[in-house]
Amino acid sequence: MPASAQFANTQAGPQTGLAKSRLTIATPNGVRTFTVELANTANSREIGMMWRAHVGRGEGMLFQFPTAQRMSFWMKNTMIPLDIIYVRANGTISQINRNAVPFSLTPIPGREPCTAVLEIGGGEAARQGLAVGQVIHHPIFRNVAPAVVRKKRR
């Protein structure tokens, strides 16, 4: 969750109703697929993964920002460890902060301007073989071919 979240209603419990989509990451050991909730408004980014008791394998939250910027996240009101992955505008992984400590108010700053952050369960980045420089494919990075709808043959 962005460290600026002190202004959000952070006591309301986990947020629900965010749009879900799929992202993929090509690793040397194969393509990894995640189903992510898209946090693309100020309020959804501020609440983030607060008050969640669990995040499943292959699940996460993708935080989309309108412009590239140096960001800082923290774990306020976040009950589970998370891997926090900073992502450049072209979808490449800039940095991975592994196993962020639940409830910590210590900022976890990005090292360079990014347009997105992927949060997944703590330890999941290592388990999936994710590394700096790999490319995340998702529509927000404009690096996914649009789905082709094929007509049924009669």
Domains of the chain: 5-141 (2.60.120.1140)
Question: Is pLDDT at 72 greater than 70 in this prediction?
Answer: yes
The predicted pLDDT at position 13 comes to 81
Q: Residue 144: which pLDDT band, with cuts at 50, 70 and 90?
A: confident
Mean pLDDT for 67-92 is 97
Q: Which residue has the higher pLDDT, 45 or 3?
A: 45
Interatomic CA distance for residues 43 and 141, integer angstroms? 21
Identify whether the C-beta of residue 15 lies closer than 8 Å to the C-beta of residue 47: yes
Give buried/exposed letters for 46-62 (b at 16+ CB in 10 A, else e).
Answer: bbbbbbbeebeeebbbb
Predicted TM-score (pTM) of the model is 0.88
